[in-house]
Amino acid sequence: MALEDNPWVFRHEGKLWVSELPREQMLYQLNDQRAWDAANARHERWGFAIAVGAAVGVLVFFVLGSLAGLPTVVNLFVLPVGFAVGAVLGAVVNKRVRAVALHNSPLPARPVIAAMVRIPPEVVKRAPEDSTGTQLMQWARRGYVG
């Protein structure tokens, strides 16, 4: 595609995007923001907290149902409720623990990136090769070249 040679156009996650920044600067900003997102996701550990909470909830509801002498069928229908209650409680506990952890070691602010617009296939086909970034952004927002 000839449009991929344009200095304002770049490919990200399999799609063509346009920005008012040159390709190299925009890709650097995107990679920087994605790295921050990955570090923040590892810092939160939501999946682990919800899984542990759900397992504990199922175990507690199973033990309580067994001690109460509930029939096995009723106990099996109550276990999903234990799963849900445990998962929610795990998330609440994680949120409170995470708030303390974030207060003690705050992450830097999330990197801000310049505006970018995905280029629709119709614009890719019809846009001239020497288009500016501003023109491409306008055409991409409208969905057609003209």
- pLDDT (tens digit per residue) in 8-23: 899 988 899 999 899 9
Residue 67: predicted pLDDT: 93
- Does pTM top 0.85 for this prediction? no
Nearest to 57 by CA among 25, 29, 91, 30: 91
The sign of the dihedral angle between the CA atoms of 33, 38, 41, 42 is negative
Query: Which pLDDT does position 81 carry in this prediction?
Result: 93
d(CA 146, CA 140): 11
**pLDDT < 70 stretches in the chain:** 1, 42-44, 99-106, 146
pLDDT, residue 45, reads 74
Rg of the Cα trace of the chain? 25
